[in-house]
Amino acid sequence: MNAIFDELRAALYSVWHRRWLALAVTWAVCLVGWLGIAFIPNTYESSTRIFVQLDDVLAQQIGIGPTARQKDIERVRETLSGAENLEKVIRSTRLDETVTSPGQMEQAIADLAKKIKVVSKQDNLFEITAQSGRSDLSDAENAQLAQDIVQKMLDIFKEENLAGKEGDMQQTLRFLDQQLEQRQTELESAEQRRLAFEAQHPEMIGGSAAIAQKLESTRSEVRGVDSDLAAGQSALAAIEGQISSTPPTMIVPGVSGGARGALAQAEADLAAMRARGLTDSHPDVISQTQQVASLRKQVAAGNGGGTPNPAYSSLVSIRAERQANVQALQARKAALASELAALTANQSAEPGVAAEAQRISRDYDVLRDQYDKLLKDREELRLRGQVENENSSIKFDVIDPPSTPRIPSAPNRPLLLFGVLIVGLGAGAGTAFAVNQLKSTFATASKLEMDMDLPVLGTISHVLTDAARAIERKRMKRFIGGSAALGGLFVVLLAVEFIQRGTVA
């Protein structure tokens, strides 16, 4: 521990012994450093904060949610510092004063890009900052320029989100209109081809797939008719059995008229049906005609006595109805069989025509689907654009308007001035110590004994006379004055810095 203390005391003595050299080096370093700091221009920073509201019920109903709005704002934020927008900033501020060529414009854009920041503090909060530190401008002019840059960036941010969105939507709608016109022309051409083919081959409408579908549908219908025909014939046979076991007349004592009366009544009913406009093919007319014919046979056979059996007449009417139903089903079956034979013949006779019909139909369906989809997309985009432009869900609130900086953001001159002073003191002390180390002198007896490896018997003190002591006092006053002057210059520079800051308005 004593050795360390001796070394420290020796170092301090060596510096103090050459204090004038240390003071001179300190002055030189401080003057050079402070002069260099004086040439560094002040940089002023201006900022603004924007709150973006993304809530709107109508926009969410048509698919414009906060997520979509956030993506749009992020897109604008990322492109805000693009070359085109930065050029707008340069053209609208005094940055354009020094730009006279495209090369200078590119360099100005590159420099401005380094001085502008667009930061998203939160989901809906954005901060725009800009710096200006041109050496050819005063502090007040740099502060005003930084504020102008931020204000222009704020204007561009609003324009890109409000007006720029409308331009993109109009461009998209124009593209969709062009595509719709092209698809409409192709669709009309395909429709004309299909109509011409169907006029030439009406039986091949729809192609082979449609013919196969028709065949399957016809076969299914034939099976249904066969089933209905079998049920109708069974029901007809059943009613025939009931008629054969039911007498046509009944002998009722005291009742006159018999079959002739029934015949007259049946003929009157038939005449009434025809008077209503019913044709001979109507089921009721057919049933009534058969009943009249049956009654006439009874009268001709001499069975005019007795009263007609109502059950028999009802059964005869039901039989006529079921016979008509069976005949209609048979006619339908014959028609279906003919249609099925024609379809089968068309399918097997002209496979090339069927393939052409299928191709034409497929092309038309594809074009029709594309046209419908484009039309739907265009209408959705048009509605979305109207909602965004007329009832925009993006609302801007400028929380902090572009600030006018009062103090420079860089450099930190007080700290730099103090740092230069510390460096100067260290450089002076280090120079004095280094020079003393190069000299063959010893500050203490222990240092001499250690280096020479010889015992030191004693030391002789340095005794000053009165005249030497007076000279030493003068030198000390000069040294203190030089040191105080260095400190005073540091204080003056600090005062000038703070006064200069206060003059920026």
| 262 lies in the same domain as 386 | no
What's the pLDDT at 394? 55
| 214 lies in the same domain as 261 | yes
What's the pLDDT at 196? 77
| 98 lies in the same domain as 129 | yes
Q: Which among 379, 410, 441 is the end of a domain?
A: 410
| 345 lies in the same domain as 391 | no
Could you tell me which residues come within 8 angstroms of residue 145 by beta carbon, excluding any fewer than 6 positions away? 44, 93, 94, 95, 132, 134, 137
491/24 Cα distance (integer angstroms): 19
| 213 lies in the same domain as 248 | yes
238/243 Cα distance (integer angstroms): 9
14/19 Cα distance (integer angstroms): 8
Query: What confidence tens digit (pLDDT) does each residue in 44-71 have?
Result: 888 888 877 655 544 444 445 555 555 6
| 45 lies in the same domain as 167 | yes
Give the total number of structural domains in the chain: 3
Instruction: Report the SS3 class of residue 398.
Output: strand
Asked if the model's pLDDT at residue 322 lies above 50, the reply is yes
Residue 30 — pLDDT band, cuts 50, 70, 90? Answer: very high
CATH number, domain of 399, equals: 3.30.1890
Residue 181 — pLDDT band, cuts 50, 70, 90? Answer: confident
What's the pLDDT at 423? 94
Average pLDDT, integer, range 493-504: 79
Q: Which among 388, 410, 432 is the end of a domain?
A: 410
Q: Which among 302, 333, 349 is the end of a domain?
A: 349
CB 14 within 8 A of CB 432: yes
Query: Which string of b and e fits 444-455 if b means at least 16 CB within 10 Å?
Result: eebbeeeeeeee
Asked if the model's pLDDT at residue 135 lies above 60, the reply is yes
| 181 lies in the same domain as 220 | no
What's the pLDDT at 311? 76
Q: What are phi and psi of 439, to 5 degrees?
A: -85, 150
Helix, strand, coil percent values for the chain (each to nearest 5): 75, 5, 20
What's the pLDDT at 162? 56
CB 149 within 8 A of CB 132: yes
Helix (H) or strand (E) holding 380: helix 351-390
Parent domain of 211 = 207-349
> Hey, how many other C-beta atoms are within 10 angstroms of the C-beta on 2?
7
| 498 lies in the same domain as 471 | yes
Calculate Rg over the CA atoms of the chain: 57
| 34 lies in the same domain as 46 | no
| 173 lies in the same domain as 61 | yes
| 183 lies in the same domain as 118 | yes
Average pLDDT, integer, range 200-228: 71
Average pLDDT, integer, range 138-161: 81
What's the pLDDT at 2? 63
Query: What confidence tens digit (pLDDT) does each residue in 468-487 have?
Result: 788 888 888 988 998 999 99
Q: Which neighbouring-strand residues pair with 15?
A: none
Query: What confidence tens digit (pLDDT) does each residue in 331-350 have?
Result: 888 888 887 777 676 655 45
Asked if the model's pLDDT at residue 152 lies above 50, the reply is yes
Could you tell me which residues come within 8 angstroms of residue 400 by beta carbon, excluding any fewer than 6 positions away? 47, 48, 49
Average pLDDT, integer, range 279-294: 82
| 19 lies in the same domain as 95 | no
